[in-house]
Amino acid sequence: MTEQYVLDLQEVDEARVAVVGGKGAHLGGLSRIEGIRVPGGFCVTTDAFRRVMAQAPSIDDLLDQLSRLDPDDGEATRTLSARIRRTIEETAIPGDLATEITHALARLGEQTACAVRSSATAEDLPTASFAGQQDTYLNIVGPTAILQHISRCWASLFTERAVTYRRRNGIDHRTVHMAVVVQQMVFPHASGILFTADPVTGNRKVATVDAGFGLGEALVSGLVNPDVFKVRDGEVVARTIAAKQRAVHALPSGGTQEVAVDSQRQEQPALTDAQAVRLVRLGRRIEAHFGRPQDIEWCLVDDDFRIVQSRPITTLFPIPERGDQENHLYVSVGHQQMMTDPMKPLGFSMWQLTAMAPMHEAGGRLFVDVTRRLASPAGRAALLDLMGKGDPLVRDALETVLDRDDFVPSLPDTGPGRPPVGGAPDPIETDPAIVNELIERSRTSIAALERDIRTKTGPALFDFLLEAFEEHKRVLSDPLSMQAIMAGMEATWWLNDKLQEWLGEKNAADTLTLSAPDNVTSEMGLALLDVADVIRPHAEVVAFLEGVDDEGFLDELAKFAGGTEARDAIEGYLDRYGMRCVGEIDITRPRWRERPTTLVPVILDNVRNFEPGAAQRRFEQGRQKAQQKEQDVLARLRALPEGEGKADEAKRMIDRIRTFIGYREYPKYVIISRYFVYKQALLAEAERLVRAEVLPEQEDAFYLTFQELHDVARSHRVDHRLIQQRKDAFRSYHALTPPRVLTSDGEALTGAYRRDDVPDGALVGLAVSAGTVEGRARVVLDMADADLEAGDILVTSFTDPSWSPLFVGIAGLVTEVGGLMTHGAVIAREYGLPAVVGVERATRLIRDGQRIRVHGTDGYVEILP
């Protein structure tokens, strides 16, 4: 194909990103929208950039050096990127290329003032906004200056900031190329930025206009605070007029200058309300063209708007697709399940197929639509009560929306919809045999699944799995199981409420649940202490494990003294718990059985930090503390008026909590056990598809939904572009923070605690496990990176059951996500760890190594000097 060095903006559109870069492609697309005026100009293409790079001396060697640099070595990155920029700027533009550029400039007018703007091929894409990563030069006059600034734009692909950004986002420097847009300069009365969705709340129906006098550089650089207009449904619903003391204007000879704004004009609005509404109308047209909310740079010239840039707003959390115009209110599943990372398509589709309620995907996360449940007074009261007990932030966020009156429709209690959520099932006897029976039922069901799935392959496997999912749901919805779970939770609530009322004691149930029987998750943490006991006496085994980085290490252990016993201990642990992992609700996540090295750092911590027999001692100490607490509480109650009756009631509830609270963790263990059986069968099927040359790699199956993978197994045909799109999307979803509550307008709500009973500067959260502890904060985002010592306080985003082995070695817990009955809270109480959960941005506000004080009874964290 013939190389093209210069293209008019009218000749390009969004399909030409590879030729004219993101900005050029968007500007070309904008120029084709009816009613949108874009300043005229042309693009110097990526072909021109590649030609100049090919001529630049030693550029390949410099790029090789750049790719080998340590990403954290800022000084080396700064020095090398400066050398690359200098090399590009000093490389002469070939004569024929320079001639083609000057001819295009002549069509605009040789001495026409221009904006020379970088346009990289990885810029302004739907999944990554690169705003400000490369350079733009305004009011450049004359061919010589234009050519010089085109070279500078090429070189700006290698600014330190752009290089660092690419490294952090996994973008290869050689895959990004630079085009340059040269546009006729406009000299505006006012300019600014239009967001077609509210960039703070995410609301897609509210547009935000930032406006200032003169060129937009004053706003972009932070020189002035802008006027801000909020526009909804064709009218300005809020405005803030700033004192705009400075502006940037073009100089007649070229370049720009910062100037003072006349004092009488400073507090005049840069736009009228009518102009702001008209601008938003143009923005909606641009948004419709590109198919998603846009961040638009605009200029106002003689009461006429010119659009000089539009790019997607990449920070907005997506909205579940519903195909209707109704209002919907969604609650995050990940916040309830202690896993707010994005899930791959096979993962979220499997959870949807096995869940007890319909779920909707957005941004790789799942949400439940609670609109209908909130529509009737009884349903609303029951759901808010349940949410408030679990996570007050969810309740507050829901109430924020409900307070608006018009978002959620009102239905009478007898109207259609689900029965009230959280209504208590019929009570059951306080009998430990019930828990034993439930556990045995689950084991029988899993054994039958393992037996029956062995012979299934191809489409027959998927048909079998669809039937297995129905059995999965039947096991989860077993009325006796639901009764046992609710019995433990209701006893917890009763004891906390009544003992605070009668004795003035907060969260007394926390101590009463220490070392409760039949808690499979807390047993999992203690069992790894037993594994450490087997390994500790064998120095060669310990030394070998300290250097392990290969998943086949178990086979190597037999070479060492004590290695066979160590291997058997780890294998035994994996037989019981190897189906677990961080983020385990996503079936695509590697399980401990698949990646046993994950457990090695925790085992070694246990070897270092504990004495032999620690598991049994801890469990017994917890049981005795709970027993002492029971005796203390009952004695104090008997001393009260009508004390015998109160003590009898409390004793019944203590027996109930001890009987049933441990079972709260078992259904999740059953789900994950069944998931591992499903996964092994699906991976074997994916491997067959790889051998048949249908899938390039086994893990490509993870980027298809269950239904899509079923179709591939039937047809032996797959859309490889779809898989690549899904991989790109999944990567981008990691940058998004899922909200606890999301509306169909796109508004993301976090909720607030609304408390005034905590010290100034304290981080507020939810008290889930009583006690106060002071210690060193260890901020751990990946369990595999944990390096904990006795007395450390674990600070992390979330803790699902797989984190419980770390709990045996810490003194306290702080998480960003969590509720009173989520797994981390339950296990913290079992182990007697003071814990505060739901602390917004805890992993960013608390630095690793800082000393902190965790107030697990009162629900806040202090950062100590």
Active site residues: 823
Name which of 709, 620, 716 is nearest 346 in CA terms: 709
User: What angle, 0 to 180 degrees and rounded to 10, lies between the N-to-C axes of helices 823-831 and 614-638?
Assistant: 90
Task: List C-alpha distances in Å: 359 to 229, 332, 362, 710.
Answer: 36, 10, 10, 20
Name which of 660, 622, 738, 629 is nearest 431 in CA terms: 660
Question: Which two structure tokens, joined as six digits, stand for 223?
Answer: 């020189």
Task: List C-alpha distances in Å: 458 to 465, 674, 676, 684.
Answer: 11, 19, 18, 10
Residue 709 to residue 726: CA distance in whole angstroms: 14
How long is the chain?
865
* Proportion of the chain in helix, strand, coil states, percent, rounded to 5: 50, 15, 35
What distance separates the 2 farthest-apart alpha carbons in the chain? 101
- Sheet with 793-796, strands from edge to edge, namely 763-764, 860-863, 851-855, 772-779, 793-796, 812-815, 835-837, 766-769
CB 709 within 8 A of CB 463: no
∠128-133-136 over CA atoms, to 5°? 125
- Tally the C-alpha atoms within 13 A of residue 487's C-alpha that lie toward its C-beta: 27
Question: Which two structure tokens, joined as six digits, stand for 481?
Answer: 């199981």
Residue 269 to residue 251: CA distance in whole angstroms: 24
Residue 11 to residue 121: CA distance in whole angstroms: 17
Say which amino acid occupies 314: T
Task: List C-alpha distances in Å: 190 to 37, 137, 755.
Answer: 16, 18, 43
- Tally the C-alpha atoms within 13 A of residue 79's C-alpha that lie toward its C-beta: 6
CB 822 within 8 A of CB 360: no
Could you tell me if residue 158 is left (phi over 0), alpha (psi between -120 and 50 degrees) or otherwise beta? alpha
Question: Which two structure tokens, joined as six digits, stand for 368?
Answer: 């439940």
Alpha helices in 454-508 (DSSP H): 458-476, 479-503
Residue 41 to residue 19: CA distance in whole angstroms: 16
| Residue 682 DSSP code | H
| Dihedral sign, Cα of residue 404, residue 405, residue 409, residue 413 | positive
The long-range contacts involving 590-594, CB below 8 angstroms and separated by at least 24 positions, are 591/676, 591/679, 592/802, 593/676, 594/551
Residue 122 to residue 796: CA distance in whole angstroms: 32
Backbone phi, then psi, for 110, in 5-degree steps?
Answer: -55, -35
Alpha helices in 39-130 (DSSP H): 46-55, 59-68, 74-89, 95-108
Name which of 234, 307, 295 is nearest 34 in CA terms: 307
- Tally the C-alpha atoms within 13 A of residue 594's C-alpha that lie toward its C-beta: 15
Say which amino acid occupies 189: H
Residue 848 to residue 378: CA distance in whole angstroms: 46
CB 139 within 8 A of CB 201: no
CB 826 within 8 A of CB 521: yes
Exposed/middle/buried for residue 853 (C-beta within 10 Å: 0-12, 13-18, 19+): middle
